[in-house]
Chain A
Amino acid sequence: NAGVTQTPKFQVLKTGQSMTLQCAQDMNHEYMSWYRQDPGMGLRLIHYSVGAGITDQGEVPNGYNVSRSTTEDFPLRLLSAAPSQTSVYFCASSLLTGGRKLFFGSGTQLSVL
């Protein structure tokens, strides 16, 4: 049982490049989400999903796309990277019932030059 697996751990992009952050969980969690963490700010929700085929926007969705074709996987796509997207990204998952204990991936440190 690996929990939440998030890759890559580090990434450097040039402005305008695109990339995909991968997130997979093996706990059969319905809820999966992506957050970004910036200095002096709390974790902010980018996108979330409550099941395969269902996604919705969070607080800061602009510049990011997601899809949920399976229960296990929830990739985050940066369409055209901008320096403002330099941040640490976390994927998290939980059940939709029973208290919603969150399980986090190990994070991705992204720098956009």
Chain B
Amino acid sequence: KNEVEQSPQNLTAQEGEFITINCSYSVGISALHWLQQHPGGGIVSLFMLSSGKKKHGRLIATINIQEKHSSLHITASHPRDSAVYICAVLRLTNFGNEKLTFGTGTRLTIIP
């Protein structure tokens, strides 16, 4: 079982719909990142969070440390939101350094 699991793997929705992408992890973490990868390939950091909730424009990220779960929500979705959304967790290793482990991503397609 992967340390980081994302669901769904693929999501197609109509413009304007409320979108939820989920990330579950199996290890203790110090932080969780949400990244966006556009069709051109570039990767952009959306959020870094270690507790609670963050909001940026139409994007909202939440994390529940006890349940080892995070969600990324997109309100009033738009075709330009079409991208792959990647969850990554940051944790301390046994050797005292920090390690990032990535999920395989959720491919979101918003239809006009």
Binding site for B on A (CB under 8 A): 33, 35, 40-45, 50, 56, 88, 90, 92, 99-104, 106-107, 109
Residues of A within 8 A of B50 (CB): 99
B4 at the interface (CB under 8 A from A): yes
**Pairs A–B under 8 Å by Cβ, sample size 12:** A40-B104, A42-B101, A42-B103, A99-B50, A102-B35, A102-B43, A102-B45, A102-B100, A104-B35, A107-B41, A107-B42, A109-B41
With A42-B4, A43-B86, A56-B97 as contacts: A103 and B103 at CB distance below 8 Å = no
CB of A42 within 8 A of CB of B48, answer no
A41 to B97 alpha-carbon distance, docked (Å)? 23
Q: Is the interface of A mostly helix, strand, loop or mixed?
A: strand
Q: Are A100 and B48 in contact (CB under 8 A)?
A: yes
With an 8 Å Cβ cutoff, the count of chain B residues facing the other chain is 24
Name B44's contact: one of A35, A40, A45, A104 (CB within 8 Å): A104
Q: Is the CB of B102 within 8 A of A42?
A: yes
> Do the beta carbons of B104 and A101 come within 8 Å of each other?
no
Partner of A90, one of B43, B103, B104: B43
Whether A100 lies near B102 (C-beta < 8 A) is no
Interchain nearest-CB distance for B44 vs A (Å): 7
Contacting residues, chain A, for B31 (C-beta < 8 A): 99-100
Separation of A88 and B84 alpha carbons in the complex (Å): 15
**Quick check: B102 and A43 within 8 Å, CB to CB?**
yes
| Nearest CB of chain B from residue A91's CB, rounded to whole Å | 10
The answer to the question of B17 belonging to the interface, with a C-beta cut-off of 8 Å to chain A, is no
Q: Which of A42, A88, A99, A103 has the most CB of B within 10 A?
A: A42
Which A residues lie within 8 Å of B44 (CB)?
104
User: Contacts A100-B31, A102-B35 hold; do A45 and B100 have CB atoms under 8 A apart?
Assistant: yes
Q: Is the CB of A88 within 8 A of B41?
A: yes
Measured CB to CB, the closest approach of chain A to B71, in angstroms, equals: 18
A42 near B104: Cβ-Cβ < 8 Å? yes
Q: Which of B42, B48, B99 is within 8 Å of A101, CB to CB? A: B48
Closest to B47 in A: A101
